[in-house]
Structure 1
Amino acid sequence: MRSDWVPVSAAALLTGAMALTFGSLIMPSTRGTADTLTIVQQDGGRWMAVASIYFLASVALTLGLPAALTLFERRGRQLSMVSAVVLAVGFLGTAGYAMLMVFFHSLVVTGAIRDQGIEDIAHETGLAIFLYGWIVAFFLGETLFAIALLRARTTPTWVPIVMLTHVASVFVSQLVPDLLSRSFVLLLAVAFAGISIEAVARDNAQRVR
């Protein structure tokens, strides 16, 4: 049976990873809530561009998950399914974050939010739960998927190692310069590129048989 969808899904995974990387690199730097308000007021176009890129990344990464799952036939199959569900939550959370960026921009442009208002939003419990839940789901899913790849041994060892390194970089991101901290997302793009290439290669090999 032909599986023409695998290359398309793999391309979506790579596109999503690159979009997420690009969005993270061009995201305006903020050093507090007041600084965020100033950036949205003075650089709203860039803010909205990042929101659009994040939304595109969310959709593409979600569509790319099926191709990644083709790497598991026996070993690591159950863990890969669990990690895919958790990753999907993280990917969809990225779309939610993009919508929050758009909503926040609208409030600033219309003058509905000012310095005190942004402080109130920053400490809103529901928003904090969403943001932390999204981040935890993303990195937990990435960790579980990397472990599943190590068990399955269907990709070069460097692929899951790079993914785990990206997860570990979260704990040192606050200790390094902002530009270096942002560049850690390149590790995710490299790992997803390896996954996409391997998924297409295995699909082509199955067609030849």
Structure 2
Amino acid sequence: MRMDWIPASAAAFVTGAMALTFGSLMLPSGSSTADTLQVARTEDGRWLAAAVIFFIASVALTLGLPAAMSLFDRRGRTLGMVSAVVLAVGFLGTAGYSMLIVFFRAIALETTLTGAQLDDAVHEAGLTVFLYGWIAGFYLGELLLAIALLRAGTIQKWVPLVLIAHVATLLVSSFLPHSISSALVLLVAVGFAGVAIEAVTRDAEQRKALPVGL
């Protein structure tokens, strides 16, 4: 049985990873809450574009999960499925984050909200739970996927190691300038691209091994 859906799913995975990178680099931010609010008012077009790109990334990454799961036969398969579920939460949270960006832009443009008031809103319990839940889902799913890939042994080791390195940057990203911390998302883009390439390569090899006509 041919699995022609794998190349399409892998292409979606790469597209989502690139969109996530582009959106992170495009989204402007200030050094403080007040600065961020001002940036949202003066560069509202970039904020809206970043929100659209994050939404595209969410959809494409979710569609790319089946390609990543195709790399598991027996070893690491259970952990791989768990990572897919957790990653799906993180990817869907990215769509929610994009909507939050649009909402924040609308507030910045249509109200006289101050930096102090925005600080109070950002630390509201419900919003805090959503944001930390999204971040935890993304990074935990990425870490579980990397460990599952190492256990499966079906991919070059540098790919899961790059994903683990990206997870490790979570410990230092808050101490880095926004431009540098945003650029660290390149690691996950490289790792996901490696996963997609290996999935396509493996699928092509399996199809070559099939009898002609199947």
Q: TM-score, normalised by structure 2?
A: 0.93
CA distance in 1, matches of 2:72, 2:151: 10
3-state SS of paired residue (2:171): coil
Aligned to 1:105: 105
Q: Encode CA deviations 1:16-67: one digit per residue, 9 max, x unaligned.
A: 0001011111221222221121111111000111111100000000000000
- What does the per-residue CA deviation read over 1:106-158, in whole Å, with 9 as the maximum and x for residues that have no partner? 22222264445423311211000000010011000000000000000010000
- Match of 1:162, SS state, is helix
Checking the alignment, whether the CA contact within 8 Å between 1:33 and 1:122 is kept in structure 2 is no
Aligned to 1:57: 57
* Aligned residue in 2 for 1:27: 27
CA distance in 2, matches of 1:61, 1:162: 18
- Structure 2 residue 40 is matched with structure 1 residue 40: yes
Structure 2, unpaired ranges of 5+: 210-214
Q: Which residue of structure 2 lines up, in the alignment, with residue 198 of structure 1?
A: 198
Query: Who is 2:83 aligned against?
Result: 83
Identity of aligned residues (%): 60
Instruction: Give the partner amino acid of 1:86.
Output: V
Matched, 1:144 2:133: no
- Structure 2 distance, partners of 1:5, 1:14, is 14
Q: What's the TM-score once normalised by structure 1's chain length?
A: 0.96
- For the residue of structure 1 that corresponds to 2:132, the secondary structure is helix
The SS at the match of 1:170 is helix
Residue of structure 2 equivalent to 1:18: 18
Distance 2:72 2:136 in 1: 24
Distance, in Å, in 2 between the alignment partners of 1:109 and 1:4 is 47
**Does residue 126 of structure 1 match 2:126?**
yes
Rounded Cα–Cα distance in structure 1 between residues aligned with 2:198 and 2:97 = 30
Does 117-126 or 147-156 show the bigger shift?
A: 117-126
The code of the aligned residue for 1:30 comes to: G
Partner of 1:178: 178
Which whole-Å CA distance do the structure 2 matches of 1:156 and 1:146 have between them? Answer: 11
The structural deviation recorded for 1:81 is 0.3
Q: CA separation in 2, counterparts of 1:139 and 1:168?
A: 9
Q: Equivalents in 2 of 1:16, 1:112: separation in Å?
A: 35
Tell me how far apart the structure 2 counterparts of residues 96 and 157 of structure 1 sit (CA, whole Å).
Answer: 32
| Matching residue's letter, 2:207 | R
State the alpha-carbon separation in 2 of the partners of residues 44 and 180 from structure 1.
Answer: 22
- Does residue 1:95 correspond to 2:95, yes or no? yes
Query: Aligned residue pairs: how many?
Result: 209
Which amino acid in 2 is paired with 1:18?
M
CA RMSD of aligned residues (A): 1.3
Tell me the CA shift for residue 69 of structure 1. 0.2
SS at match of 2:156: coil
Q: Which stretch of structure 1 is more off in the superposition, 24-33 or 163-172?
A: 24-33
